[in-house]
Chain A
């Protein structure tokens, strides 16, 4: 069974631009969660989607948004990028959301 995949793996953007990251969960998994990982802040929860509905949301500004499609693939968007948005963005999928999460390799975003 294929694991969680994320595209692109690396991104370089400039301040003010916007970016869209994609996550394909393990086949059959309906829950996708997104996390921001930085050296100083660890793993910070962004949001969780289950069956195309946002089920939980973290404490991030409205510039961060996401969605989930009927095939469970998920995207997150960050608008008006700031230098502080530079981080590794990880997505994780699970069958129902309350069970084991499997992480993707992450997208490393650099904002210049």
Chain B
């Protein structure tokens, strides 16, 4: 089955700096890669997703890149703000299969 590894497990950045979280997946058939943000005590919420026919996608301060050959994808957050502090999860899914999550990255943005 699919295996998703996520790094780093914790990330501390200064407000205004960029944050990068990287994930690798094992199933070459995976074609859907969402990223979720979970604030303390709240439910995970989708912040951005990408499909395998696209190499990069941006939404304001966040962007995701996908390298199908290397089977890895990354989340980039620019100009970080204190409200970006949360746990971020990457995930991967092949058509008809379950969504497999990475282990999560705890991001702390220091003011």
- Residues on A lying within 8 angstroms of B by beta carbon are 33, 35, 42-45, 48, 55-56, 58, 90, 97-106
Contact = CB atoms under 8 A, between A and B. Distances in A.
B49 A98 contact: no
A43 B44 contact: yes
Interface stretch (B16-24, B68-76, B98-106): B98-106
Contacts, number: 46
Interface string B86-101: 0001000101111111
A45 B98 contact: yes
A103 B34 CA distance: 13
A29 B60 CA distance: 28
B43 A33 contact: no
5 contacts: A33-B99, A42-B102, A44-B101, A98-B32, A101-B99
Contacts of B101: 35, 42-45
B44 A90 contact: yes
Interface of B: 32, 34, 36, 42-46, 49, 89, 93, 95-104
A104 B44 CA distance: 8
B33 to A, nearest CB: 12
A55 B98 CA distance: 9
Given A43-B44, A103-B43, A104-B43, A56 B89 contact: no
